[in-house]
Structure 1
């Protein structure tokens, strides 16, 4: 029976991923109906905390976008790239990694991708090289960002399991991901043929109109900034710093365990402390309010921002697919643990392959963390090892369907960034595999020293 249930799970995920947008979510709900009504599986708890974090963080990022703060950040990154065009392969992933680390969402990087492609093309550097590693860097940063839904989910699980604080996670994951991305950069320095030897590019250059447009002077003036652009970045940054402080020093928050009739709930844990997920929601929505008030950005403009739509789609997707996966896992927990226990106990690092594989199907680091990390805990994997393997939940590039991958392909006018004939031989495979593997290896080394 477990194999039939597993087949339903996989089919729902595959069909949902092809539907794009909210497809994963709605197909996940069909899977939930089949599990509940057809197999009488007891539904697991829906991923409420993850959904609320996604909505709050992405909505605040949308306010940053509406207030012009994103344009300000893009101007800074564009200035760096255009001043150092020959080093675009190094600086492009640095920019996208920093954006995601700061904002907690990789969707913030769409504005910088065309600039990366333009700078590389004009320098006659194969755009595939900086674009591919820049996209991978923007994804991996999610497992190091203190305000991402993935990190908040990991923190909630590790706090209950080993009393780890936010600082315990980011002091391993930030340097580990930076090491992994640097090694990923080295892996793409000679990837593909140089443009002057690339047959696809040379064929395109035979078209006079294409050659003229390619070398035409692009609009390089900084994006015009709204009056509150810089202030919105400052407010967002203060929010991030507040979350880091509260997550690293929980004693700064009130404790309610001594209150009469105290009862733990979704916001307050059994120890009486406010759950970090709830604190992220409070802080980020407060920042959103301050951005609206102090920068005089209309609330309706926030709702119209492209990031706001991305957050809503992500929330629906996570609700359906994580709820379905968690229900399957809970119903078959004993059998799954029995099958994996010996392998994981002998080789803890093997669990990273399971994290990577599920993320390749779910297209979400937060969803993967919520679905798989409780299994790692029940298998008795050491807390330090789980933190080291946390960045392995970055398999969303494996199947080239994620929006940031498709956007990078679209922005590369030379055609060097592409999906291969056999689907899996796409531009992001090499830097993705190298970066994730290197990050996990560095994570194990760092966790042994720091945790």
Structure 2
């Protein structure tokens, strides 16, 4: 019976991912209805904590966007990338990583992709190289940033006071080494641009050739002027990150309120980290609006804010369905896999990677699969080491950041192959994830 139920779960995820948008969420609810009405399963608890975390963090990021803070951060990243264009394959991925690490979202990479494509093409560096690694780097930043929903969700699942700081301690240096390995893996990938037949054919068009002239800085390009209050918004956002890190690093700073354990209060009587993150981020959002005179209407119109509804519906559906399946089959799953993951804990990373590829969501994958890792007895340090595996969303080239990189590369070097999975991101993605996890295991054994 478990195989029939698993087939239903996977079918709902596959259909939902093909529908895109809120498809994953609504199909998850269809699966949940089938489990409850047909198989008489008891519904699991809905993922309230992760939904509230997403609401809080994305609202704060959208406020930063409305105040001009994201544009200001992008302008800094652009200057770094353009400063040494010949080394763009090395500079662009790390610049992208730190930008997304600070912002807590990979979607900010859309602003950098056209810059990376333009600079690399004009330097006759194959754009596929810096573009592909930069996209992967933007995803890895999610599993290290204290301002990402995925990292906050894992901290809530692990449920110990310093989980947030441990995520950063392990995942950030591991990801940096993984990105470097990925850069080395693609630095000679494909033929050089000035020998690429597709590019040479495009260069026969005089207008295209003129746009590829290294001396052309862009017709009508206007120098960026920060929006009033943009720098202050970034400062407030940075202060919120610092507060979250401080509370994670020094549990003694977390307020003791006593009382019975609840959603907001831990077993030791202190306010739990999930509640602290929600309070800090939404308070930061209020401060940004008050100090920079950003209206609530502006925040509600931001692309990050509108994308929040999609994320909430998707995670509610797929996580609730998956949690119900896990709850009903917990004994079978534990009996089947516990011995394997006890001896070879790294094998759990495969499940994380494949679920990430199916759901296209690090937060949903974290909330769905990580509790099973805890139930199987995998240690917290090892779960931290495997956390970057949730970035399997590059396996199938349907994630928006991948498609955007392909669209921005006018040379045609960044592409989806004949067999779909042999696309420009597969090699840097697999190398980066594998090396990051390996280094994560080493660091977790040394530091935790």
Interval containing the TM-score (normalised by the shorter chain): over 0.9
Q: Deviation at 1:220?
A: 5.0
Q: Structure 2 unaligned segments of length 5 or more: list them.
A: none
Alignment check: 8 A CA contact 2:77 2:99 kept: no
Report the equivalent of 1:173. Answer: 171
TM-score by length of structure 1 reads 0.96
**Could you report, residue by residue, the CA deviation over 1:37-77 in whole angstroms, capped at 9, with x for unpaired residues?**
12111111111111111121111111111111111111111
Which of residues 287, 302, 311 is equivalent to 2:308?
Answer: 311
Pairing of 1:274-285 with structure 2 (within 5 A): 274-285=271-282
Residue 208 (structure 2) aligns with? 210
State the secondary structure of the residue aligned to 1:254.
Answer: coil
Which residue of structure 2 lines up, in the alignment, with residue 422 of structure 1?
A: 419
Q: Which residue number in structure 2 is paired with residue 272 of structure 1?
A: 269
For this pair of structures, how many residues does the alignment match?
445
In the TM superposition, 1:111-260 aligns within 5 A as 111-160=111-160, 164-215=162-213, 216-218=216-218, 221-257=222-258
> Does the 8 Å CA contact 2:53/2:153 hold for their aligned counterparts?
no
Aligned-pair CA distance for 1:148:
1.3
| Structure 1, unpaired ranges of 5+ | none
Q: Aligned residue for 2:371?
A: 374
Q: Which 10-residue stretch deviates more, 267-276 or 199-208?
A: 199-208
Cα shift at 1:243: 0.7
2:405 to 392, 401, 408: 408
The offset of 1:133, in angstroms, is 0.5
Q: CA deviation at 1:446?
A: 0.6
Distance apart, 1:214 and its partner CA: 3.7
- In 1, Cα distance between equivalents of 2:238 and 2:373: 33
Deviation string 1:169-222 (CA, Å, 9 cap, x unpaired) is: 211111111111111111111111111121222222223333234435415543
- Tell which deviates more after alignment, 432-441 or 413-422: 413-422
Residues in 1 aligned to 2:217 and 2:169: alpha-carbon distance in whole angstroms: 43
Aligned to 2:43: 43
Q: Distance in 2 between matches of 1:70 and 1:256?
A: 36
Aligned to 1:340: 337
Which residue pairs with 2:86 in the alignment?
Answer: 86
Q: Deviation string for 1:317-353 (max 9, x for gaps)?
A: 1111111111111111111122212221221111111
Structure 2 CA distance for aligned equivalents of residues 172 and 327 of structure 1:
31
User: Which residue of 263, 287, 291 corresponds with 1:290?
Assistant: 287
The answer (yes or no) to whether the contact 2:72–2:230 under 8 Å persists in 1 is yes
